[in-house]
Structure 1
Amino acid sequence: MQLESPNLHDTLAATQETVQLNEPHTPHGNAIEAFSIAKHAIRAAIAKSRTQWDKHEPRMWARAKDIRDEELLDFDVAKDLVLVRSGPTAYGTIIFGKIRIPAIRDELGEGFVHVRIHDPPNRGESDVLFHSILTDEGNRDADGHPQTWNAVQTADTPLEFFNE
């Protein structure tokens, strides 16, 4: 789900093939700062995503079905951003983060959302933009129709490039 995008030239679009991401690692101060700048947009995107998906495919946010929005959105970037990866592009740096959602703890363990943000070059961190959250329509049948839906990831779900 893409809500706020930098809408840069399609010819400069980052792809898994064109962006060399660093290895997943615990966040340093600059990543915490960047995600803190984008946290309001991240929270708005999570709430909007859940509302939209619940209308046509409630399984996407099923792990959060009994959790109020206030609880779902009650994460602290400084302690709940647990993993990051980043890579340079022609138009700045993209940063992927794994954010723990403390209210989600079920038979699969803790719940996490994967978030993508963008930091344009040479303008400091004040211009960090939210890009998207991962809503995974995985495991497709022979006809290409999704059989699983996951907006809430597990601790074991790898933090990988996504372009939603």
Structure 2
Amino acid sequence: MASAEQVELNAPHNPTEKAFEAFEVVEHTIKAEIIKSRHDWDKHEPRMWSRAAGISDHDLVAFNIRDDLVECRSGPTSYGTIILGKIRLPAVHDEEGEGFVHVRVHDPPNRGLEDVKFHSIFTDEGNRDADGHPTTWRAIQTRGTPLEFFNE
């Protein structure tokens, strides 16, 4: 599996047609994984998805790739292309502004789009205390959160 040191991502940019198509292939999976992640985190650390408190699962994933994929980055690996996407969650709008998830997908070489695979959603266990334990949790990012390599 690639690391941040091994993948040279291009600069953040508006989605291209190919990016829209790649994310559309896995849109259903992304929505299912957002709901799964939310439920899993709610069991042991509900602060991870706290910006979605009071929003139903249905409303949380009521996004459309063509309308809500707002930024992308990609980089080649020996086993294909990693594509990162910032997807707006229209139901999330709070004191921090609009809400976004960062999603990683993988496009293996030489097959077109039919084999694009969902990889992960960025869940940030940011600041750490003196013992190394997280003190902040964030699955829903702000518009200003940089779209950077992640390997969750």
Instruction: Name the TM tier (shorter chain).
Output: over 0.9
SS of the residue 2:40 aligns to: helix
**1:11-90 counterparts in 2 under 5 A?**
13-90=1-78
CA distance in 1, matches of 2:17, 2:75: 17
Residue 17 of structure 1 aligns to which amino acid in structure 2? E
SS across alignment from 2:73: strand
Q: CA deviation at 1:124?
A: 0.6
Note the C-alpha offset of 1:43.
0.5
Cα distance in 2 for partners of 1:43, 1:66 equals 18
Deviations 1:107-132 (A, max 9, x none): 00000000000000001101100000
RMSD in angstroms over aligned alpha carbons? 0.4
Question: Could you tell me the TM-score, scaled by structure 1's length?
Answer: 0.92
**Inter-partner Cα distance in structure 1 for 2:16 and 2:82:** 15
Alignment-derived partner of residue 160 in structure 1: 148
1:47-97 CA-to-partner distances (Å, cap 9, x unmatched) read 000000000000000000110000001001001000000000000000000
SS at structure 2 position matched to 1:126? coil
Can you give the 5+ residue segments of structure 1 that lack an aligned partner in the other structure? 1-12
Question: C-alpha distance in 1, partners of 2:82/2:26?
Answer: 13
Using the TM superposition, give the Cα deviation of residue 157 of structure 1 relative to its aligned residue in structure 2, in angstroms. Answer: 0.3
Structure 2: unaligned runs, 5 residues or longer = none
Segments ≥4 residues shifted beyond 3 Å:
none
Residue 109 of structure 1: which of 91, 97, 102 is its match? 97
Higher relative contact order (CA 8 A, sep 6+): 1
2:126 alignment partner AA: G
Q: Distance in 1 between matches of 2:126 and 2:86?
A: 18
After TM superposition, the score normalised by the length of structure 2 is 0.99
Equivalent residue for 2:85, pick from 68, 75, 97: 97
1:123 maps to which residue?
A: 111
